[in-house]
Structure 1
Amino acid sequence: MTRKLQADVVVVGGGPAGINAAIAAGRQGASTILIERYGFLGGMSTAASVYPWMTFHTESGQQVIKGIAQEIIDRLIERGGSPGHLRDTIGFVHTVTPYHPEIYKLLAIDMLKEAGVKLLLHSFVDGVQVENKVIQSVQLSGKSGPIQVSGRMFVDTSGDADMAYLSGAPTQTGREGDKRTQPMTMKFRMRGVDLEAIRQEMINNPTNFYHKTPFHELNELPLTGIQGFYSQWNAAKLPINRDQVLLFAGPEPDEILVNCTRVQGLDGTDIEDLTLAEEEGLRQVMMMAEFLQKSVPGFSQASISSVAAQIGVRETRRIDGLYRLSMDDVVTGRRFGDVIARSGYPIDIHDPSGKGVTEALVRGDGAYDIPYRCLVPQQVHNLLVAGRCLSTTHEALATTRLTPSCMATGQAAGTAAALASAAGTTAAEVDVAQLQKVLLHNGVVLT
């Protein structure tokens, strides 16, 4: 027998975008249900060990992402779950934000409860009922049998545009032409790392590290990130298609998050490809750990302390919405009248087939606008999206996919869904001026 539930706003996907969307909707007074396939929240931040969060700021240090996202940081600090925003010692962005994933998981639950959100974990959306371009309900599968969840408005924060795809909304995948996506990465942590030995290696051999590393400040700054060890990497000749070592410190004093594996040419929405990716990612983890222990200063006494529960997915499906954010929009810092979020993260494309990373900074004041139209799919009237699957080109996705940006678009989508539900309008008919007013009132930066 199918269990039936109902809410004003139904959010699918409990990652950073979905958490913020559900909190925002609940705080607006909408009855809200958040659906998550794992037994815990956090999405890529917890299931795939994406760490640290980057970035809430522009290159010059202006904070452009606040609202619920900043409230989460403040409350993590209170619980000892984050030191807050720290300077990026790689030099790629102005700040990174370390966080403790387990503390984040519980904080998210507490904030959702405070907002009156009903949480359904261990629940996988495998069907969407649509009538006359309006979603009536989503079908969940799980250990307790089928559940049907009806709603007035729906928010897809699945990362893979699962609900949008199942509802018939147009989607895009990968880059134009060959449809190849950015590679997947299996991340892992090592304990017993001597971070001071790494710091000294960076100071003593600056040409062996990323050229924007703030070497003149390394003695004063907490070590947050390391990119380089070019000579060791080139000498090792590992069968991993990348050109450098990328490491992030913390959250514990002797701990490093390793972001070095690279699995290319597989589709993150195909279970057979995902199976292959998980295997290949784990094999690369073992290779990387051995390489670090044998060849990189500071790792001789280190060992693997955890491996992500799943491989990290940078890119799969995204909606083809009312507007598609482009690389030119990002790098020129374009402003939009229907702005609902801003970001200062640069273009950061991990090559779908090669070794490198394509970088492009945001010009002007260092931030670009994300318009509301990027959250609105075509052909489905009561659906919004946020996070990794909003409407962009392949190139622009390389910035909007980052966690703080996902948090910001999540808050906007959840707020808009609550407003649409209360007014009885479609997603496209939401009063953007009213939405912006509410977002500004709740601490979101729009200018």
Structure 2
Amino acid sequence: MSRMNYEVAVLGGGPAGITAALSAARNGAKTIVAERYGFLGGMSTAAMVYPWMTFHSASGKQVIKGIAQEIVDRLMALNASPGHLRDTIGFVHTLTPYHPEVYKALAGRMLKEAGVDILLHTSAIDVKTEGERIDSITLYNKSGVSTLSANVFVDATGDGDIAAMAGVPYEKGNANGKVQPMTMKFRMRGVDVAKVKRAMQDDPSNFYEKSLTSELDRLPVTGVMGFYAQWKAAGLPVERDGLLFFVGPNEDEVLVNVSRVSGLDPTDIGDLTKAEFEGREQVLLLESFFRERIPGFEKASVSAVGAQIGVRETRRITGKYVLNGIDVLDGRRFDDVVARSGYPIDIHDPEGSGVTANFIREGGAYDIPYRSIVPIRTTNLLLAGRCISTTHEAQATTRLTPSCMAIGQAAGAAAALASSLRREVESVPILDLQERLTAGGAELGLTK
């Protein structure tokens, strides 16, 4: 069995893992990232989570910058993103379209530029601990089994796999233990977006009440929530109240976020397998519905389906502080803030068809404290992404991709700092960490 030794090891190459690895390496740590797929990007690529929502507060202030914004800038330079656009659904201030295939390549390019070692097609299958410290992680890939040692590990697996294998306590779901439903996302090409736009302008009442229908003469259609009448008349066996889709990345293309698979646990392999099949059956059903009933989709067809079903919620690892819904809605500030987000609490009902949305006070943003990425009972592990320490309600905002990117950058910088100082992650000097996250103007919306 081969053994690898690093200063920082990031497990998971999704949006949080990418920014964590970049941040660790740029802060001087010898860094590796291991990813189970043959490409990077996590839910943004494997599950087609599109577009990125949101880098801004409801009032329009950009609150997530740093490496996340650098990625957007570089995608724009490659003509793979138009940058931040107004959300014509009106749910958030902006959304950020991007081309997932370019993002896959760009992420690898940026990691290599930073000197990060990358292992694809690689899964963590075991964690060895000594007391409250992770000694090593067992990896498996086509070359066989290997051992990965590091001064500090970052769990960016999405599901908190590393923390769970290390024996860290966690919670899942709402008060009844039910998690938010999964969604099999898919793209359709051949869409007449101009016709969709006319339908929105002709009957605004058939769409989400905040939709910017009166502004569509000057704004491009970026997202659509509604067609409530057509959806109700069809009576499809999908627990949704209406349609949700986003335009792009091509002019005649949309990403459909409508399928819903409820009542299953994504960390249970039997349930996850069932969800994959059920989600794909729903895609075929929905394609026919769109073509037959929705203006602009008469000649459209499915062009791509996610490599896996999209997962909103699984384990929430217990940390030194559990961020809660009141913290979010009150726009709470923390002395140990390491990231900030302006996305509302957005809960897809785990046991029904609705979506509960609660918005942050005065269109503001809330802080994500360092203590929420530091798990209890483990001295050299940090959390990045949707598995951080929150309640069910707060996770419904921290799970969004830009939030995860910001959290990842913080985790990577903290991991590098803990490694260089030979300290436990809980003892990282917060002011030093915050300084690194705001250096050179590449800040995450943090204010001093």
TM-score with structure 2 length normalisation?
0.99
Q: Identify the match of residue 264 of structure 2 among 263, 266, 269.
A: 266
| Structure 2 counterpart of 1:115 | 114
1:306 counterpart residue number: 304
Q: How does 1:279-358 map to 2 (within 5 A)?
A: 279-358=277-356
- What residue number does 2:137 align with? 138
Report the counterpart of residue 236 of structure 2 in structure 1.
238
Structure 1 partner of 2:376: 378
Q: Which residue of 1 aligns with 2:423?
A: 425
The SS at the match of 2:426 is: coil
Q: Deviations over 1:72-101 (max 9, x none)?
A: 000000011100000000000000000000
2:445 corresponds in structure 1 to 445
* Aligned equivalent of 2:127: 128
Which amino acid is the alignment partner of residue 444 of structure 1? L
Quote how far apart the aligned CAs of 1:443 are: 2.1
Matched to 1:31, the amino acid is K
Alignment-mate amino acid for residue 402 of structure 1? L
Residue identity opposite 2:445 in structure 1: V
Select between 410-419 and 355-364 the one with higher mean Cα deviation. Answer: 355-364
Is 1:93 equivalent to 2:92 in the alignment? Answer: yes
Q: Distance in 2 between matches of 1:338 and 1:328?
A: 18
- SS for the counterpart of 1:112 is helix
Taking the aligned partners of 2:60 and 2:374, their CA distance within structure 1 comes to 31
Deviations 1:117-163, CA, capped at 9 Å, x for gaps: 00000000010010011111111111110011100000001000000
- For 1:9-408, what aligned pairs fall within 5 Å after superposition? 9-176=8-175, 178-364=176-362, 366-408=364-406
CA distance in 2, matches of 1:6, 1:196: 55
> Aligned equivalents of 1:439 and 1:262: distance in 2?
37
1:365 Cα offset (Å): 5.1
Return the letter of the residue paired with 2:444. Answer: V
Post-superposition offset of 1:182: 0.2
**TM-score normalised by structure 1 residue count:** 0.99
Partner secondary structure for residue 305 of structure 1: strand
| Paired letter, 2:84 | H
CA shift, 1:338, in A, is: 0.4
Distance, in Å, in 1 between the alignment partners of 2:151 and 2:174 is 33
Q: Counterpart of 1:203 in structure 2: which amino acid?
A: Q
Partners of 2:78 and 2:137 in 1: CA distance: 36
2:444 & 2:58 partners in 1: Cα distance? Answer: 19
In the TM superposition, what whole-angstrom CA distance separates every residue of 1:377-396 from its partner, at most 9, and x where no partner exists? 00010000011000000000
Give, in whole Å, the separation in 1 of the partners of 2:211 and 2:358: 17
State the shift of 1:220 in Å. Answer: 1.0
Amino acid at match of 2:142: K
Cα deviation digits, residues 251-303 of structure 1 (max 9, x gap): 00000100000000111111111100000000111111110000000000000
- C-alpha distance in 2 between matches for 1:29 and 1:259: 40
Shift of 1:214: 1.1
SS in 2 for 1:285: helix
In 1: Cα distance, 2:9 partner to 2:173 partner = 27
Q: Which moved more, 1:246-255 or 1:362-371?
A: 362-371
Residues in 2 aligned to 1:443 and 1:338: alpha-carbon distance in whole angstroms: 15
**Structure 2 Cα separation of the partners of residues 403 and 444 of structure 1:** 14
Amino acid at match of 1:284: Q
- The 1:229–1:365 alpha-carbon spacing in structure 2 relative to 1, beyond 3 Å, is closer
Report the Cα distance in structure 2 between the residues aligned to 1:215 and 1:169, rounded to whole angstroms.
48
SS in 2 for 1:446: coil
Deviations 1:198-235 (A, max 9, x none): 00000001000000011111111111000000000000
Measured in 2, the distance between the counterparts of 1:121 and 1:5 equals: 15
- Separation in 1, partners of 2:253, 2:146: 41
Give the stretch that moved more between structures: 167-176 or 251-260: 167-176
Name structure 1 gaps, 5 residues minimum.
Answer: none
Amino acid of the residue matched to residue 36 of structure 2? R
Q: Distance in 2 between matches of 1:407 and 1:343?
A: 11
Letter aligned with residue 126 of structure 1: I
Any idea what the Cα deviations from partners look like across 1:317-361, whole Å, max 9, x if unmatched? 011100001000000000000000010000100000111000000
Which sits farther off after the overlay, 132-141 or 301-310?
Answer: 132-141
- For residues 222 and 199 of structure 1, what CA distance do their matches in structure 2 show? 9
Which residue identity lines up with residue 72 of structure 1 in the other structure? I
Amino acid at match of 1:73: V
> What is the CA distance between 1:364 and its match in structure 2?
3.6
Deviates more, 1:214-223 or 1:371-380: 214-223
Letter in 1 for 2:328: V
- 2:413 counterpart of 1:415: yes
> Counterparts of 2:75 and 2:443 in 1: how far apart (Å)?
18
Residue 384 of structure 1 aligns to a residue whose secondary structure is strand
Q: Which residue of 2 aligns with 1:6?
A: 5
For residues 238 and 353 of structure 1, what CA distance do their matches in structure 2 show? Answer: 17
Moved over 6 A (4+): none
The residue type equivalent to 2:201 in the other structure is I
AA aligned opposite 1:102: E
Residue 70 of structure 2 aligns to a residue whose secondary structure is helix
Moved more, 156-165 or 141-150: 141-150
